[in-house]
Structure 1
Amino acid sequence: MDLGISGRAALVCGATQGIGRAIAAELVAEGARVAITSRSRERADAAAAELGAAAFVHDTADADGAPNLLEAVADALSAPVTLLVTNTGGPPGNPDALGFSREQWQAAYDELVLGPMALVQAAIPGMRAQGFGRILNVVSTGPREPIPNLMLSNTHRAATLAAFKTVSRQVAADGITLNSVLPGRIATERLFSLYGGSRDAADRVAADEVPAGRLGEPDEMAAAAAFLLSARAGYVTGQALIVDGGLTRAV
């Protein structure tokens, strides 16, 4: 199926590993011109060289830097960004849901809400001018079924779901969609870190707990993301797609 995004300028944040990198690779394979970000120049350059993308240094929590990033990417790709993926890391966990400092709450808000929304705000004018835009946020299943130990992620990612839903109605007539993907247990280094850095341990738990009997792979997430970013998905907006092998029980 032709996704209709060949030649379009794409920005994928947090794309040096895991889900973000898989999405960037999928977009490159579909013919998009892709820029990726990382907080590390070394990691950004290395990943970009392997993917065939342009590299930029950006901390998603830096809301003030969002307009400059979008402008720099547009210059590098010779077109305004019309495919935007807001992908971030996760804040620290704690088995005590009330055990976080105010500084940790603020840092999580900056990273998971304020920073991504600043990118959205900076990207929409260019998308409106093109009459086309696809914005995708990588969330988690935590807002639907809170994940133990991840109070900050559960709370702030729920806020971005509400924000995306709200903005999606405002820009739908401009040809712009905003959607979210909610990954379950995907085989990434971040997931493995929750099991002491062991994929084997994560695999064993998934075999017992995930209806599909296994972990998801990053490229499976990327396939779902690519469709939501495609021209073919123009009538899909304000949605949150769970990709978790059937693990989430909520309707």
Structure 2
Amino acid sequence: MDFGIDNRTALVMGAGGGLGRAIALALAREGCKVVLADIDADALDDSDRAVRETGAQTFALQWDLGDLSVIDARIGAIEARFGGVDILVNNTGGPPPTPASGQPAELWEQHFRSMVLSVIAVTDRVLPGMKTKRWGRVVTSASSGVIAPIPGLAVSNALRMSLVGWSKTLAREVGRDGITANVVVPGRIGTDRIRFLDEAKAKREGRSVESVSTESTAAIALGRYGQPAEYAGAVAFLASAAASYVTGSVMRVDGGLIASV
């Protein structure tokens, strides 16, 4: 299928990580010009190199999402290079595992700024350009915790849920401008983040990492962790012209992990 996004400009946040890199690669293979953003300079360089090997035009930006003051300059640089953002992939790192109670206000504020306010502010900055073109895609990566809250990940559950409400509201506001807004929910995709969470749970419960992973995959209908490329394919579809009538949705890419309908 031709996704119809050849020569579109895609901004992928968190592009140095496993999911972000896979998304950047998927969009590059569909002919997009790809802007990669990440706080980790080394990981960003690795991702940029991998994406350039597809033949795509790229632009790598080291970017701390917790610093809202740099957003205008970063988007301005993209506009100067590629003429604006057509596809925005909001993908942020996750907070450390925490219970719901007893967390300091500073922890909530720190991650609200980097995981929620940053997403809203970046989206607000690129929307005028999308409205001018009467075409745009806003895809926000969340977590299965927005449907079935994950024990021990209270900060992530709460903050990512707020983005679902925001995205749904945004979809109704910008739909008549030719812009769609959707959320993608990963289940357990085989990335460094999942390995970190498995290791943390194993340490907490005095178990081996292997036993934790085995228990996790047993709860997945497909019986395995997903591959980053499988998740990226769903994101690329939502970014495509083929998905022009899909908006305000929450798409699960979880291998059947989430038990609810």
Fold agreement, TM-score > 0.5: yes
Mapped to 2, the partners of 1:238 and 1:112 lie a distance apart of 19
Question: Residue 203 of structure 1 contacts residue 214 of structure 1 at CA under 8 Å; is this kept in 2?
Answer: no
Mapped to 1, the partners of 2:212 and 2:50 lie a distance apart of 27
Q: 1:19 is matched by which residue type in structure 2?
A: L
The reply on whether 1:74 has 2:79 as its aligned counterpart is yes
Q: CA deviation at 1:212?
A: 1.0
Question: Residue 141 of structure 2 contacts residue 186 of structure 2 at CA under 8 Å; is this kept in 1?
Answer: yes
Q: 1:17 is matched by which residue type in structure 2?
A: G
The reply on whether 1:57 has 2:73 as its aligned counterpart is no
The reply on whether 1:208 has 2:213 as its aligned counterpart is no
Question: Residue 191 of structure 2 contacts residue 228 of structure 2 at CA under 8 Å; is this kept in 1?
Answer: yes
Mapped to 2, the partners of 1:54 and 1:175 lie a distance apart of 26
Q: CA deviation at 1:49?
A: 1.8
Q: CA deviation at 1:203?
A: 4.3
Partner of 2:109: 106
With over 3 angstroms needed to count, the CA separation of the structure-2 counterparts of 1:199 and 1:4, relative to structure 1, is: farther
Q: Tell me which of 102, 126, 129 is aligned to 1:123.
A: 126
Give 3-state SS (helix, strand or coil) of 1:235's partner: coil
Partner of 2:43: 43
Mapped to 2, the partners of 1:202 and 1:98 lie a distance apart of 24
Mapped to 1, the partners of 2:146 and 2:27 lie a distance apart of 27
Mapped to 1, the partners of 2:18 and 2:41 lie a distance apart of 17
Q: 1:73 is matched by which residue type in structure 2?
A: I
Partner of 1:221: 231
Partner of 1:236: 246
Mapped to 1, the partners of 2:183 and 2:102 lie a distance apart of 29
Q: 1:63 is matched by which residue type in structure 2?
A: L
Identity %, equivalent residues: 39
Give 3-state SS (helix, strand or coil) of 1:250's partner: coil
Listed as ranges, the gaps of 5+ residues in structure 2 are 53-57, 201-207
Q: 1:98 is matched by which residue type in structure 2?
A: S
Mapped to 2, the partners of 1:151 and 1:57 lie a distance apart of 28
Partner of 2:96: 92
With over 3 angstroms needed to count, the CA separation of the structure-2 counterparts of 1:29 and 1:159, relative to structure 1, is: same
**Correspondence list, 1:143-182, <5 A:** 143-182=146-185
Mapped to 1, the partners of 2:67 and 2:211 lie a distance apart of 35
Mapped to 2, the partners of 1:70 and 1:201 lie a distance apart of 45
With over 3 angstroms needed to count, the CA separation of the structure-2 counterparts of 1:7 and 1:93, relative to structure 1, is: same
Mapped to 2, the partners of 1:247 and 1:107 lie a distance apart of 30
Partner of 2:15: 15
Q: CA deviation at 1:58?
A: 0.8
Q: CA deviation at 1:63?
A: 2.3
TM-score by length of 2: 0.91
Q: CA deviation at 1:50?
A: 2.0
Mapped to 1, the partners of 2:211 and 2:178 lie a distance apart of 44
Q: Please give the root-mean-square deviation of Cα atoms over the aligned residues, in Å.
A: 1.5
Bigger shift: 174-183 or 191-200? 191-200
Once the two structures are superposed, what CA deviation does each residue of 1:29-82 show, in whole Å capped at 9, x if it has no partner? Answer: 000000101112332223212211221011122223222221111222x22100
Question: Residue 16 of structure 2 contacts residue 40 of structure 2 at CA under 8 Å; is this kept in 1?
Answer: no
Give 3-state SS (helix, strand or coil) of 1:219's partner: helix
Question: Residue 17 of structure 2 contacts residue 43 of structure 2 at CA under 8 Å; is this kept in 1?
Answer: no
Question: Residue 195 of structure 1 contacts residue 201 of structure 1 at CA under 8 Å; is this kept in 2?
Answer: no
